[in-house]
Structure 1
Amino acid sequence: MSKNVSQAFDKLLLHLSQIERERNGQIIAGSPNERKFRYVRDCLCNFTQTIMKQDFSTLTFDDIDRCFLQKYVNHLNGRNVENKLQKLRRVFREANVDTSVFDCIRIPAKLESDFLMVDHKVIEKIESMNRAKLTGKEELYIDLFLIGYYTGGSTINEMASLKVSFIKNGYLYCRRNASENIAIIPLCSDALHIIDKYQSMCFDDYLFPIFTHKHNSPEQQLGRIKRISELTNQTLRKVSKMLKLENAITMGMTKWIFIEHLLLNEVPYEKGSSILGMLY
């Protein structure tokens, strides 16, 4: 009898939720991969039920044959396909199921990413834009985008746990989620202005008003980060229309705009790597 896919996901998610790790001096329960695998499960569930017209709770690994998987890839339409397939393949391995079905899957060629068409001029336009039509919360989301850029492409997830004590002698020390390395970031005057602007609104000694007294558990904090990220990107879409930008901007673009700016200004590799958290 073939194994159940939903149950295999549940088993892996439970394991990931119980992993403990140290981050910025605190012990946090749950692997950051838990949210990513949960998202992959939800995408597969949506496809199974809406396109294949099958109850996801009854889906088995035998059901995911070459035809099923190719339809799934086509359905994703280039949306982070390789990453989703990589994680689904891991679920197969964790369940001790043959992964050869992935070998013959054709992934359509990706179009050039929009973020390559976005340059530093976008930052300048946002810095100087008229904010009269933005709400207070929307203004915060725009400032989070800007501080993300000023700090070398910091994500909402990374910024959420930053505290005042992480600033020393004009430098911000931030652990990068992707590499677990510590980025050493010189704080420009624009970054310091944003930090000062929101200090009175911050809970405890956090650097930014992302968490409140309501967000005590890791689950609540992850939910808050996801919600703020969604609202930030929603606001950025609004701003893109207001500024009549050629491409809509997202929070994820800050790192690439920052890297392009480093290259254009011929910033030494060692300095750029330190800001990005690429050095061990």
Structure 2
Amino acid sequence: MERLISIMKSDFEEFYSTGKIGRAEQLSKDIKMHVNHNEYPSYFFGNPEAKFVLVHLNPKQVDNYSDVSEDCFKYADFAEYFEFHRYYGKKHYGEDSTRKLKSSFDAKQVRFIRPFNVINLDVSNGDFSNLEKVIDDKLQLELLPFGSNNFETNKVESVKKLLQPYVETLLETITSQERDYIIFCGKVFETLLQPYIVFKEDHAFKLPKVNGGIAANDSRFSNVTLEFNDKRFSAGIAQSFAQMGINMNEYGKKCSELYNLSKPLK
């Protein structure tokens, strides 16, 4: 986590003093896809020492094409900025919050993570207590901390070498602690993690639909063993996490079963 914190501090200080982040601006030019260089980046949410790690590509943000930020003094200092992300769930869904808005994405995470039985979630599916816990009691990492409205994942193959430094920071952060579950969300991670995969077992299955019947299309999950800095560790790639209309309760249950039943190479 030390490397990530060092990067976060450097970006924060640059953003605080100039209203933008140079490496984000350069990344947009290099990969020919827009990411915001003039908004606060989000590297993680939740507990850096959590046993359950969920990885996403980058934060969802409205594309901002201004040269510099108009809100670079949102946080008094780096400590406040770090704590905001560490206790994001508490600030948005805790007892001292307004408890008026529920993110559909966060509710989706509750349904997916519940079957893994690693976070003490209540029986209710959408209460604010669960929303708070599902954020603050796991570690959510963003491969790219810079937000955008739509990252064109079909172009990743052509720019994956440019993204490797971000992948390495991500893997170093993950392996800085002992983890029980590491799940990468999205098919794009098959491409990005390919240099580090030493074992891969793919699964395709049809899930029950929310309103009855069986889905026409397959859902997918892969067990992988990754090797990074002479460390081998097990993980999963949830290719169908963002699939529209998927029964997330059943998908989480199936992914949990496959993660625990499969025996990747150690």
The answer to whether the superposition gives a TM-score over 0.5 is no
Higher helix fraction: Structure 1 or Structure 2?
1
Pick the structure with greater CA Rg: 1
TM-score (normalizing by structure 2): 0.28
Higher strand fraction: Structure 1 or Structure 2?
2
TM-score (normalizing by structure 1): 0.27
Q: Which has the higher contact order (CA 8 A, sep 6+)?
A: 2
